[in-house]
Chains A and B, each alone.
Chain A
Amino acid sequence: GDSVTQMEGPVTLSEEAFLTINCTYTATGYPSLFWYVQYPGEGLQLLLKATKADDKGSNKGFEATYRKETTSFHLEKGSVQVSDSAVYFCALITEINYGQNFVFGPGTRLSVLP
């Protein structure tokens, strides 16, 4: 079935470091891909998305490119801040016969130290 794999962390970085969180997927259809962020004590918020191959999603300095050939959607940020400390979830939505399939990865906890 459809699945999302991402590095579980925790990932600990110093402020202004470069961030990469890897995400790969398997899907039977043609998924839309998402990154969500969860701050402590809150629900998930959409960070960015891409709906077709080679699309790049970007928001708040974060970027991810939909790579169909490698089935990947890695999250990157050039210079992290303490306020980026959160859990990041990679997710996909794909259509299957007579229904839809929604799958989230396990989440990657990021801690940014001042």
Chain B
Amino acid sequence: DAGITQSPRYKITETGRQVTLMCHQTWSHSYMFWYRQDLGHGLRLIYYSAAADITDKGEVPDGYVVSRSKTENFPLTLESATRSQTSVYFCASSGNYHHEQFFGPGTRLTVL
């Protein structure tokens, strides 16, 4: 199906484990983004990518790693998960930075 998808939708992990959240879009959008949503903070940008092999830090990049080897995929990796990374993670894509962003359904991550 066309659109932007995220997997898994729910994930429970333990402190210190590596976790990868997947994001896939079918529009061939140039821009892709990762946000986390926490009560009291709204949405905060973790990383974004302007094209394949081009990534840049957002507001809260520490503890996260991204890659973009293909235009349609933008995985987010927590190399050693911490409890403070418990959050809802949203992936988004955009054809142009001045255009609307299309959001995925989110991944709820719990780090015990």
Contacts and interface: CB of A to CB of B under 8 A. Distances in A.
Interface of A: 32, 34, 36, 42-46, 49, 51, 89, 91, 93, 95, 99-100, 102-107
A104 B103 contact: no
Interface of B: 33, 35, 40-45, 48, 50, 56, 58, 90, 92, 97-98, 100-106
Contacts, number: 49
Nearest to B43: A104
Given A93-B98, A104-B42, 12 more contacts: A42-B105, A42-B106, A43-B92, A44-B90, A99-B56, A100-B48, A102-B33, A102-B58, A102-B97, A104-B35, A106-B40, A107-B43
A51 B99 CA distance: 9
